[in-house]
């Protein structure tokens, strides 16, 4: 599936995030990175994605600072891909997306792969307010005044 959306004129953090990780292969690559996959050939074997597509997605993740390369072999030179702090901050996004898929895609069939927290319980991710600790429902949110000085996404991406 190729990218078709152009968010460059948007001044929206959701559109900005989608311009970085909105491609379906990108999210699957990130899922596997959180599972410990670091090498190109391992992703290629696990996913069956075309090599050129995988190379382009990894290159993009590196360009946006979500992953970085590290040399693991000098002869021949080989690099692995490692999540950066920016990449690791995507974990809640993936966990929430997984929970949504478990509930609305798989539904009564059950969770394909449950995630167990250190406490022993199956993880049910939720969003909580840092200030008060209450679960965020959506009806308790309001937008602050718009930041009119924020540049359009195209300008932000051009500066990277």
CATH of the domain at 60: 1.10.10.10
Comparing 43-47, 59-63, 133-137, the range with the smallest average pLDDT is: 133-137
pLDDT at 147: 67
pLDDT band at 2 (very low <50, low <70, confident <90, very high): very low
Residue 105 lies in a domain: no
Is residue 11 within 8 A of residue 154, CB to CB? The reply is no
Q: How many residues does the chain have?
A: 160
96 domain-assigned? no
In a domain, residue 111? The reply is: no
pLDDT reported for residue 156: 67
Per-residue pLDDT tens for 111-156?
788 899 999 999 999 999 999 999 998 888 888 877 667 677 667 6
Residue 75 lies in a domain: yes
User: What's the total number of domains in the chain?
Assistant: 1
**Cβ proximity of 57 and 34 under 8 Å:** no
CA 126, CA 129: separation in Å to the nearest integer?
10
| pLDDT higher at 137 or 62 | 62
> Is residue 18 in a domain?
yes
**31 assigned to some structural domain:** yes
Dig out the tokens for 103 from the structure: 């509930």
Q: Report which of residues 113 and 37 the model is more confident about.
A: 37
The tokens for 99 are 């929970």
Say if 34 falls within a structural domain. Answer: yes
Assigned domain for 63 exists = yes
Q: Domain span at residue 21?
A: 11-89
């Amino acid at each position: 599936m190729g990218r078709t959306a152009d968010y460059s004129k948007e001044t929206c953090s959701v559109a900005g995030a989608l311009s970085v990780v909105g491609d379906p292969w990108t999210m699957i690559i990130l899922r596997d990175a959180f599972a410990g996959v670091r090498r190109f050939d391992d992703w290629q074997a696990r996913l069956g994605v075309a090599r050129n597509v995988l190379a382009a997605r990894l290159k993009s993740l590196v360009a946006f600072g979500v992953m970085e390369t590290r040399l693991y072999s000098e002869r021949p030179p080989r690099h692995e891909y490692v999540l950066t702090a920016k990449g690791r901050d995507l974990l809640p996004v993936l966990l929430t997306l997984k929970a949504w898929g478990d509930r609305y895609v798989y539904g009564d069939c059950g969770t394909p792969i449950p995630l167990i927290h250190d406490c022993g319980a199956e993880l049910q991710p939720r969003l909580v307010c840092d200030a008060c600790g209450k679960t965020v429902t959506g009806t308790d949110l309001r937008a602050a005044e718009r930041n009119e000085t924020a540049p359009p996404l195209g300008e932000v991406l051009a500066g990277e």
